[in-house]
């Protein structure tokens, strides 16, 4: 008998090349590895395309936010409160002036307001 252990019997041919079943197994392993590599490359390409798409959407979003005057609701509320405060100050000054005109003319404030086209609800 040869000095080759029994576990290696059938794995090599007499010319020293791998047995057909071993060649088939190696070929299948290589094909599986190749298929995995192709799938991995495909996934990498897909990820890259998605990252580009995310960047485009983010840029579009940022552009839209820049177009808004006050993107935050709290900023809008603060602006409205400021405008109401300004309006009330101007209204108070206007009513004070109407009161002075009414006093000067010795008439009621309501009469002077209607003369100027201003109602109590204004």
| Cβ–Cβ under 8 Å, residues 108 and 102 | yes
pLDDT on residue 85: 97
| Cβ–Cβ under 8 Å, residues 98 and 88 | no
* CA distances from residue 33 to 15, 19, 22 in whole angstroms, order as listed: 28, 21, 16
Tell me: the pLDDT tens digits for 83-109? 999 999 999 999 999 999 999 999 998
pLDDT on residue 31: 74
Q: Where is average pLDDT lowest: 30-39, 56-65, 105-114?
A: 30-39
pLDDT on residue 24: 76
Tell me: the pLDDT tens digits for 5-26? 444 444 555 666 656 677 777 7
């Amino acid at each position: 008998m040869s000095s080759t252990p029994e576990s290696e019997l059938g794995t090599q041919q007499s010319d020293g090349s791998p047995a057909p079943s071993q060649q088939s197994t190696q070929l299948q392993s290589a094909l599986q590895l190749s298929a995995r590599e192709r799938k991995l490359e495909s996934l990498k390409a897909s990820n890259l395309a998605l990252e580009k798409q995310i960047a485009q959407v983010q840029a579009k979003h940022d552009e839209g936010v820049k177009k808004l005057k006050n993107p935050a609701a709290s900023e809008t509320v603060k602006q409205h409160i400021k405008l109401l405060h300004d309006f009330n100050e101007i209204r108070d000054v206007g009513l004070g002036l109407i009161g002075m005109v009414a006093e000067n003319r010795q008439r009621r404030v309501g009469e002077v307001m209607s003369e100027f086209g201003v109602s109590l609800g204004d």
